[in-house]
Structure 1
Amino acid sequence: MNPRDFITKWSAGGPAFKLNERQGAQAHFIDLCRLLDVEEPGDADRYCFERGLTKTGAAKQGYADVWLRGHFAWEYKAPGKDLGGALQQLMMYALPLENPPLLVVSDRLRIEVHTHFTGTPSERHVFPIEDLARDEVRARLKQLWSAPERFKPGRTSREITEEAAQAFAGTAKRLRDAGIEPAKVSHFLTQCLFCFFSEDVGLLPSRLFERLVGVRIAPDRLRTQLQSLLETMRDGGLFGVDDIPWFNGGLFKDVEVPPLSTEDVAALQKASSLDWSAIDPSIFGTLFERGLDPSKRSQLGAHYTDPATILRLVDPVVKQPLLSEWGTVRDTIAAALARSKKHGDKAYRDAQAAFIGFLERLRTFRALDPACGSGNFLYLTLKTLKDVEHQVNLEAEALGLERQHDVTGPHNVLGVEINEYAAELARVTVWIGELQWRIQHGYAFNTDPVLQTLHHIECRDALINADGSETAWPAAEAIIGNPPFVGDKKMRAELGGEYTERLRALYKGRVPGGADLVCYWFEKARALIEAGTLQRAGFVSTNSVRGGKNREVLDRICTTTRIFAAWADEEWVNNGAAVRVSLTAFGHAQGECRLDGQGVEAITADLSASTGSADALDLTQARALAENTLGAFNGIQKTGPFDVPGEQARQWLSLPSNPNGKSNAAVLAPYRNGMDTTRRSRDMWVIDFGWEMPEADAALFEAPFEYAEHTIKPVRQENTVEALRRDWWRLWRPRPEMRRRIDGSSRYLVTPEVSKHRVFAWLVPPVLPDKNLVVMPRSDDATFGILHSRFHELWSLKLCTWMGKGNDPRYTPSTTFETFPFPAGLTPADTAHQRTETLADGTVIPADLPAEVRPRAEAIARAAKRLNDLRERWLNPPEWCDRVPEVTPLGMAHSPYPDRIVAKPGHEKELAKRTLTHLYNAPPAWLTKAHADLDAAVATAYGWTDGATLTDDEILRRLLVLNRERTAKV
């Protein structure tokens, strides 16, 4: 068929014009296929006419006149009929039609293509019949079959949302700078953005707000008009000649338009021109909170969390249990309808009652986010519930029952949020999400009122009441959320010392000291599940929840209920920063557990899989060993700018003795942190007035104290902890016990607390280790070798926590070191005396070893010394560097400090690349061989003759057996 014949046949007055809807639909489509030279329908599973579901006892009902999987659903109307109804029908039945990306409606005189791609705004493309004479129009239509993605809008909903947020952020800042209270600015602009959205989705008369701000109007007059419009939206009624619906909902309860500038008017004009109907509720609240809350403005351009990641919790905690219940009810309905003889008989009424009963179940379902932020979890939970309702209605209708609407809505989602900006945006996010869902699925708006008052999204503290008592959370069946990521060590700084102490005292015995803030949400949810008032909970937390003190909270969860779904280690964005998180769902749920998307028999408290059998590898059973007590320590913690460059320290060391007759060497020491260990030394020193020196005595060290007064004291005086302000000249954690154990030693072992590779190195007193170094006060090569073996590395990686964007393992004295079973006879208890013996080749072993242990210790020590010697030769080749004696303080006969390593001229860049990180990133053959020799010696010490062939799991299993045997004896 050629274009002229097609147009003549189907145009107004043509021979086919008077065919009714059913008569003309298939004939018109077949002619169109032949005109465009595309495939005609003929495959019931892929491409057919009358695609739909089958009702029990009824004829087949076509939900789409034509359907092509992955391309389009197509609905016809007779000429002159409303195509809006056809589009609405396609939208309502998109789910059983497998959500085609294009929805096409036609009255044969024109073809309308409506885009329906996920994550993009909907666009409409209209093709009048007379335009089919043009080659380019036919080519464009042909893409419905060949390349539907060519219709995908060029801008995503996310991009539109980002632009909208940026547009408002500038206005928010200008109004705040003009002296308007931030809360009033936020409230007014939130009202404006909802107005923009409302007019773009048809809740306000066409372009009303855009016309209002778009005319040349003085700022004062615009302010008056906006005040009137917002008040009319609050109450409903006429605004000029336009009839405004009653919006209500709390958002318009308080109306106070601030004074506006010409710039503000221009910004509102620009913002009103955007397509607000397309904003993405899953990120809307986050982005607008950043723009409206002055404390979060710096995060405006930062990334945000992918909603698909949030759904990994919403699905198992909310969606899957409900659909499982519906599956049982659906079977009951089908069985009843199979007995039904006619519409309305008892069997039919039983089926309808079961259906209505489940819808009532959905209506009364409540999901709570007790740290809801600006509402992205609430929106996605609401969308999930509405999707479940929609699916249930479609399946019930297919069975032969009558659909029921408006069961789920904003009343289903509850929230608690302490930030007033976020709480209001959470309500708006939920409102917009509800309205958008109705648009996308072809449902009409509720308009009496438009908005529900969402008092159940509360603005308050989720953990402590104003009177100091524990808060009660609203009753809910499911809890989901993303509680604040505040580490144990940062709680005082971010929450305040008084609040932190009250919180820890209130939850003492339930949440251990040293646990991160998120653990309080885990414990409260666990307690509700144990009490029977909550069914399931799912939280996002930093992935450090799997270890350390945090894991004790998960241990309690595994004791009183179970973890049924988890993602142990995922990327996340928190306040614009990339972090690593765990997603944990726990409580009552049917079916198998799923870890990282895979089915497993059980999930342990460290978020690893377990078979659930008695001999399963469950490292959460590992306990601290008494023999390892006081074998590892954290280094000193400064909490202030106590570190000074080496050049400055050497200048102070060269000064004459102080009024007390002492050199500054008494309060200065070389200082090393984790980066100094994995990279190269930064040549930093630390001012150390000890842990008992009074301020008056410290002042006698003139130059260091003067520096401390001008540099350290002002910082300490700003701290919220009273002891830090009071003893401002002292290190916060001087670690006296650790220092007593390394003083007088020839050397001691350290490993970075957080490091990509688990490496160990030697430091020499009086060098002081930082808090991000873990210190082992041992000087023998045997202990070095055991800790640097494959066996200890595997153990530490399984019992550690994980930190930061790089997801590096975090080594701790408690969970990682104290639980590790050393070979018999070489435990920290066996070497606690720290006496050593140096062999002829320079190898150092613990002294006074039993005869049966000594050969094993010597073998390990020699392999360890060789490893370290080779490493040191690679790190500091004598051809590229010199060892320079450190400065000798005035009045001393020799320097008490270790030599410095200085690059020879011309070799600075080459030497800078010689670091432990670079070495272990791509280990050379000699390093691999040295470690293999060390591992063989350590395996022999354990009595494992098959050490070279052991799998990681078998090594861990044997170490766990040793741990359990030794703890059982205590």
Structure 2
Amino acid sequence: MNKNGADEGAVGDTLATDAFITKWQGITASELSTSQSFLIDLCALLGVDMPHATAEQDYMFERPITFAHGDGSTSAGRIDLYRRGAFVLESKKLRQGAHTRGFDDAMLRARSQAENYARALPAAEGRPPFVVVVDVGHRIELYSEFSRSGATYTPFPDPRSHRIALADLRKPEVRDRLRRLWTDPLGLDPSRESARVTREIATRLARLARSLEQAGHDAEAVAQFLMRCLFTMFAEDVKLLPRDSFRELLTKHAEQPDIAMRMLAQLWRDMDEGGFSAVLAGNVLRFNGKLFKQPDTLPLDTAQLTLLIEAARADWKHVEPAIFGTLLERALSPGERHKLGAHYTPRAYVERLVLPTVIEPLRKEWGEAQAAAMTLAAEDKPDDAVKELRRFHHRLCTVRVLDPACGSGNFLYVTLEHLKRLEGEVLLALDELGYRQTGLALGGERADAAAGETVDPHNLLGIELNPRAAAIAEVVLWIGYLQWHFRTRGDVHPPQPVIRDFRNIENRDAVLAYDRVEFELDERGIPVTRWDGETMKVSPVTGEKVPDDTARKPVERYVNPRKAAWPDADFVVGNPPFIGNKRMRTALGDGYVEALRGVWPEMPESADFVMYWWHHAAQLTRRGALERFGFITTNSIRQSFNRRVIEAAMAAPRAAAKPLSVPTPSSVPTSSSFPTPSSAPASSSAPASSSPRKRGSMDVAVDPPSAGSRGTNEQKEQPLSLVFAIPDHPWVDSTEGAAVRIAMTVGATEEISGKLHESVDEEPITDGEMAVRLNARRGTVNADLTVGVNVNSASKLLANRELAFRGITLVGAGFLIDRAHAAELGAFEQGLAHSYIRPFFNGRDLMQGSRDVFALDLFGLEECEARDQVPAIYQRLLDRVKPEREQNARGAYRKRWWIFAEPRSEFRMAMRGLNRYIATPMTARHRIFAFLDGAALPDQGLVPVAHDHASVLGVLSSACHLAWALASGSRLGVGNDARYNQSSCFETFPFPNLHTADKFASPIGVALVDETGRAGETQTYGEYPSDRIRHLAEQLDAHRKRQQAAHPGLTLTGMYNVLEKLRSGDVLTTKERTIHEQGLVSVLRQLHDELDEAVLYAYGWGDLLPLLRIGHGNDTPSEGQTRDDAKRAFDEAILERLVALNAQRAAAEARGEILWLRPEYQNPDLAREREPEQTSLAADTTKPGEPDDDTTPTAPQPPATKPQPWPKDTVDQVRAVADVLATSPVPLSLDEIAARFTARGAWKKRLPMLVEMLVALGRAQEKEGKLSAV
């Protein structure tokens, strides 16, 4: 037999395997020593490296781990065997006592312990894709979680075959699976290989579709024909049709395409009805559904039939439904086919939302049912145990999951697969209890319409506007369902009909219902049209591209518009379209947007399109019509214009919303913070404290339920909680295949601690997918998707009003000119034109270097005045701006075309009398503030602050304000850059009152820096912090400008990138060292450090300096602390104090005590003589290191609660005990748990057993006789 090396190897493997099985079969020695010996032998058998202890602890026995408990305590544990990035392995512990009938308690405990170990691993290591449970001498169990996001590990590859008996090791494929567990664990993810196969298949279909369309066939007819073809190919590959029958039919008539198509049409009729098929000369199953109701074929030529035969040769049983729908839609859509090679949304990304939205709450219920069944089985009540499991199975088979923007069905398919996995576990548990049911098998299939029940596509509901995508979604669900059937049931055919027309995918709009769409007519009865928003032409005057005014499309009117109803469902999950509020009219049309906003009047007009889905789902959840919902949105959901929708949903319901009433400052004391301590009574010129409520401000009251919802108006509405959120995550837009940044949110009314996942590391894998390492935090998730201090609860302060603005919005590229054209138009001459040509800055100019461009600013001139006074400028705008503006949807932009779209008159008014102002980019990696010349106009990408005092610049540039801006702002774009919103970041920020802050004990000396960057003489400042802040801020601004002037290629981004690396202690590259020398970045660092210190002293918070110095890399962290830990602690402490200070300032302002930032502009009648007392926190009077008696922490105690009645039903008892543990801030003893309930009889006797089952299932943990939730 030894003809080659392969035969010798096979024989050697067989002998080694037999020896291994002989040695270990039935071993029952002590767990620790036996387990390690067993695993060493297993490694030798598989030919993988042996475990070995290293400093990294990445592959070893007895890997130490630390558990953090909810009460702040920690405990130690040890993983039996750990391999980083691969698995956590736990061996079964031998235990005393009887074995629970039908359940292996020890293996359940080992699995739960392994999952707890995986969750407790340091975030830097990430979650392993596998947990492995070993019963030495008997079996190995595999559980996987390929999204690696902390979700539940499920049996791998499925509930039928996740258990590997010792004898199974004789199978080469089993040994290979275990070997790859060590060497290539992620390669075991079946979706990876199937994704490659699916791409190849979609490419073949695209070629055939293109050929058919080029032959003149309608694209929709081609799509329907090919969908029937592909399902037939899938059917023969999974043996629903005789093997190769479809291919042989086509090949036999390859030279006679017309005969082949006629026979194919007959085959499809036979498949629809079932029975004998003359085409195949045998019986065929009854497929039914609606796919073959119209068995139309297309006339193919020989070449096209050859393409179809090539497509049929692919192995269709291995397509990946999670991405097949997207690729199929691209392949069958002429307008989308060019995107076939683009990236698709990875399955792991979809799972990251589906699991916490749908599967985790169902698994929680499953754990409760399992614990109840185990308790009943232990009490020798097997029939009752079966009843509990069957009851949960019925719940699972009747659950409804809706995707109201389902596209081609990827979210629905992933949900279906996980429901089937869970069903498999339920049926396995029933099987182990010896239960058999007619029509119910391990795979969960129905025998006929009446016998048994199962999870199948009827559980998944969808709404989709695109008819082709809706049809594809149905096909995808059935392919996925049938794949699962054959994966778990082998060659056993599913019950007939094979597919059913459940009508579960609706082809309609999900947020707007209407009777019909009509064209808007003018007074003459002629349809009103507008520019199509896309087509351009070359201007005969300028030679530049301008809108083509002949490319028109009609303006639509929606008749009888109303809110769209959603079908009854338990869960909602999906990925609604990414259309920002500014793009809605262009993408959807004016008529649609007007109708949409008309029927959803409570929605802010500034809200993105996706928020209509979010708001609708939140309403249904608050009324109890939904259990949970989860959506993908762009990460701008954290910005104020979208966040208002979330805040309204999270607020407690009330009968009617009242506008906030703040007393208007009138003849009451006010004060000033900058630049002098002068004060006077406020006058009517002060900014209004509140404005009339505008359309779209989110009141808490919600609309009555729409038709089709199960909620009733009589139901008490509950405030929404965010139970899961990822504020920023990479994503692949399935429509464009483009990389974007998104947020995930899951809403429910459950009173549980939310979970926030934050991306800490991202590495590219393949096909646009990023391996994302997430760090989880628990607590109340705020509306801005943060945990901890709710910065967005801060009030806008009158003291900061009317100083920060959005920059200029042009809407017309012709407004901008370069220096040469500016000279031609008289910008640098003494003349009238000079005042209308102004330097123009955007964020890139500030951060990367000026483009040296100018804007033609005719603000304040009427059209006739502009033509008369500056005709050359007027003509340029006439030729280059007017054609574009004439096509704009906004009438004001069309009418006043020579003026900037948003000229910011308020900003211009605030700039009167100022020679400079402060500016910061709206979106940037580094939050930098700098002075700009008063003549320069800021683009909309800049946030200008109309203040010329360096003290304001200094405070804005400090670590205090940086922490506030990052927490109250948002992030934007693929680069995930911080976004500064003047409303939430500036207007809420409580500046220190510099002139009444504590004086320095002695004058402060700071070494001045000369023009070469060298330290020179020491300047002594005054006794107030404002003196030091002002001088440091002036030096900071001058230093940056001086170095950039000396080195034209030097950018602020480059300087601050290097500053970031200096603080982290990383080694600089050659390029970075050059930037360091050119920018004198160490000097820059020193200026910022001293500025941060001065601002802290101005607040009176010098006790935070040690944390700040460690966070900046200036001091060494204490043992067990990192620089990031210190920075995080500093930010949290600063935010907590600033939020408290904001509340105090808001209360003072309500009394009329206002610390104006710029009183001579904000309140010119200010003439108060006395200074106000500094608003300060109570903590300000406590010296650093001195304990505060009022805030000294005490050990948490179990809360005193009124005992609740002990439930009668076993599963309700399990749920009640689990809830008590989950809501307790401290671990509880059995007696303390029992004290939470009241009942008569011997109910307490069951409590220890219930608790033991919760521990075995990983729902609870025991430490020193106390129990707590996991």
TM-score band by shorter chain is: 0.7 to 0.9
Q: After TM superposition, give the deviation of residue 333 of structure 1 in Å.
A: 3.1
Segment drifting more, 92-101 vs 549-558? 92-101
**Deviation readout 1:439-485 (Å, 9 max, x if unpaired):** 21126443522112142211211111113111111111111111222
Instruction: Decide whether the 8 Å contact of 2:409 with 2:474 is kept in 1.
Output: yes
Asked if 1:160 corresponds to 2:197, the answer is: yes
Asked if 1:741 corresponds to 2:877, the answer is: no
Q: Which among 593, 596, 605 is matched to residue 754 of structure 2?
A: 593
Q: After TM superposition, give the deviation of residue 741 of structure 1 in Å.
A: 2.3
**Deviation readout 1:693-740 (Å, 9 max, x if unpaired):** 338955985555555455444444554445545554443222222223
Shift in alpha-carbon separation, 1:423–1:786, aligned structure 2, 3 A: same
Name the counterpart of 1:217: 255
Asked if 1:934 corresponds to 2:1106, the answer is: no
Q: Secondary structure at the match of 1:461?
A: coil
Instruction: Decide whether the 8 Å contact of 1:789 with 1:934 is kept in 2.
Output: yes
Asked if 1:550 corresponds to 2:642, the answer is: yes
Q: Structure 2: how far apart are the matches of 1:863 and 1:146?
A: 57
**1:319-330, aligned counterparts within 5 Å?**
319-330=359-370
Instruction: Decide whether the 8 Å contact of 1:71 with 1:148 is kept in 2.
Output: no
Instruction: In structure 1, give the amino acid aligned to 2:921.
Output: P
Q: Which among 789, 792, 810 is matched to residue 620 of structure 1?
A: 792
Asked if 1:418 corresponds to 2:465, the answer is: yes
Q: Structure 2: how far apart are the matches of 1:683 and 1:453?
A: 65
**Deviation readout 1:548-591 (Å, 9 max, x if unpaired):** 22222222333212111222322222232222222211214475
Q: Structure 1: how far apart are the matches of 2:104 and 2:587?
A: 65
Q: Which among 394, 405, 429 is matched to residue 395 of structure 1?
A: 429
Q: Secondary structure at the match of 2:633?
A: strand
Shift in alpha-carbon separation, 1:252–1:562, aligned structure 2, 3 A: same
Q: Structure 2: how far apart are the matches of 1:101 and 1:688?
A: 80
How many residue pairs were aligned? Answer: 828
Q: Structure 1: how far apart are the matches of 2:779 and 2:727?
A: 16
Instruction: Decide whether the 8 Å contact of 1:366 with 1:476 is kept in 2.
Output: yes
**1:552-591, aligned counterparts within 5 Å?**
552-559=644-651, 560-574=719-733, 575-589=736-750
Instruction: Decide whether the 8 Å contact of 2:630 with 2:746 is kept in 1.
Output: yes
Q: Which among 606, 609, 612 is matched to residue 784 of structure 2?
A: 606
Name the counterpart of 2:69: none
Shift in alpha-carbon separation, 1:958–1:175, aligned structure 2, 3 A: same
Q: After TM superposition, give the deviation of residue 789 of structure 1 in Å.
A: 1.2
**1:299-698, aligned counterparts within 5 Å?**
299-338=339-378, 340=380, 347-402=381-436, 404=440, 405-406=444-445, 407-442=454-489, 444-466=492-514, 467-509=560-602, 511-559=603-651, 560-574=719-733, 575-589=736-750, 592-596=753-757, 598=776, 600-610=778-788, 617-647=789-819, 649-650=821-822, 652-654=824-826, 664-665=833-834, 667-690=836-859, 693-694=862-863, 697=866
Segment drifting more, 748-757 vs 179-188? 179-188
Q: Secondary structure at the match of 2:965?
A: helix
Q: Which among 1142, 1155, 1160 is matched to residue 963 of structure 1?
A: 1142
Q: After TM superposition, give the deviation of residue 366 of structure 1 in Å.
A: 0.6
Instruction: In structure 2, give the amino acid aligned to 1:211.
Output: E
Shift in alpha-carbon separation, 1:701–1:492, aligned structure 2, 3 A: farther
Q: Structure 1: how far apart are the matches of 2:810 and 2:258?
A: 56
**1:127-276, aligned counterparts within 5 Å?**
156-215=193-252, 216-237=254-275, 238=277, 240=279, 241-276=281-316
> RMSD over aligned Cα, in angstroms?
4.2
Name the counterpart of 1:785: 954
Q: Secondary structure at the match of 1:427?
A: helix
Name the counterpart of 2:921: 752
Asked if 1:98 corresponds to 2:162, the answer is: yes
Instruction: In structure 2, give the amino acid aligned to 1:463.
Output: V
Shift in alpha-carbon separation, 1:494–1:256, aligned structure 2, 3 A: same
Segment drifting more, 956-965 vs 944-953? 944-953
**1:861-876, aligned counterparts within 5 Å?**
861-876=1030-1045
Instruction: In structure 1, give the amino acid aligned to 2:989.
Output: F
Instruction: Decide whether the 8 Å contact of 2:354 with 2:415 is kept in 1.
Output: yes
Shift in alpha-carbon separation, 1:175–1:335, aligned structure 2, 3 A: same
Instruction: In structure 2, give the amino acid aligned to 1:531.
Output: R
Q: After TM superposition, give the deviation of residue 821 of structure 1 in Å.
A: 0.8
Instruction: Decide whether the 8 Å contact of 1:3 with 1:35 is kept in 2.
Output: no
Q: Which among 976, 983, 1000 is matched to residue 814 of structure 1?
A: 983
Shift in alpha-carbon separation, 1:260–1:816, aligned structure 2, 3 A: farther
Q: Which among 952, 955, 968 is matched to residue 1131 of structure 2?
A: 952
Shift in alpha-carbon separation, 1:656–1:156, aligned structure 2, 3 A: closer
Q: Structure 1: how far apart are the matches of 2:165 and 2:904?
A: 64
Shift in alpha-carbon separation, 1:932–1:172, aligned structure 2, 3 A: same
**Deviation readout 1:415-448 (Å, 9 max, x if unpaired):** 1112222212211221111111112112644352
Q: Structure 2: how far apart are the matches of 1:174 and 1:719?
A: 40
Shift in alpha-carbon separation, 1:39–1:3, aligned structure 2, 3 A: farther
Q: Structure 2: how far apart are the matches of 1:314 and 1:145?
A: 25
Q: Structure 1: how far apart are the matches of 2:471 and 2:821?
A: 54
Instruction: In structure 1, give the amino acid aligned to 2:723.
Output: F
Name the counterpart of 2:146: none
Q: After TM superposition, give the deviation of residue 874 of structure 1 in Å.
A: 1.3
Q: Secondary structure at the match of 2:792?
A: helix
Q: Structure 2: how far apart are the matches of 1:526 and 1:921?
A: 41
Instruction: In structure 2, give the amino acid aligned to 1:578.
Output: A
Q: Structure 2: how far apart are the matches of 1:942 and 1:145?
A: 56
Asked if 1:796 corresponds to 2:941, the answer is: no
Name the counterpart of 2:1179: none
Instruction: Decide whether the 8 Å contact of 2:160 with 2:424 is kept in 1.
Output: no
Q: Which among 922, 938, 945 is matched to residue 776 of structure 1?
A: 945
5+ residue gaps, structure 1, are: 12-27, 73-90, 118-141, 341-346, 611-616, 828-840, 843-851, 881-910
5+ residue gaps, structure 2, are: 29-34, 43-91, 93-97, 108-133, 144-154, 446-453, 515-559, 652-718, 758-774, 997-1009, 1012-1020, 1060-1080, 1108-1129, 1151-1270
Shift in alpha-carbon separation, 1:221–1:558, aligned structure 2, 3 A: same
Q: Secondary structure at the match of 2:741?
A: strand
**1:767-916, aligned counterparts within 5 Å?**
767-824=936-993, 855-877=1024-1046, 911-912=1048-1049, 914-916=1050-1052
Instruction: Decide whether the 8 Å contact of 2:915 with 2:935 is kept in 1.
Output: no
Q: After TM superposition, give the deviation of residue 872 of structure 1 in Å.
A: 0.9
Q: Structure 2: how far apart are the matches of 1:871 and 1:57?
A: 74
Shift in alpha-carbon separation, 1:630–1:599, aligned structure 2, 3 A: closer
Q: After TM superposition, give the deviation of residue 413 of structure 1 in Å.
A: 0.9
Asked if 1:921 corresponds to 2:961, the answer is: no
Segment drifting more, 282-291 vs 811-820? 282-291
Q: Secondary structure at the match of 1:632?
A: coil
Instruction: Decide whether the 8 Å contact of 1:157 with 1:278 is kept in 2.
Output: yes
Shift in alpha-carbon separation, 1:648–1:92, aligned structure 2, 3 A: closer
Q: Structure 2: how far apart are the matches of 1:357 and 1:154?
A: 32
Q: After TM superposition, give the deviation of residue 859 of structure 1 in Å.
A: 2.1
Segment drifting more, 477-486 vs 699-708? 699-708
Q: Structure 1: how far apart are the matches of 2:581 and 2:921?
A: 19
Instruction: Decide whether the 8 Å contact of 2:138 with 2:165 is kept in 1.
Output: no
Q: Structure 1: how far apart are the matches of 2:1139 and 2:1092?
A: 18
Instruction: Decide whether the 8 Å contact of 1:281 with 1:433 is kept in 2.
Output: yes
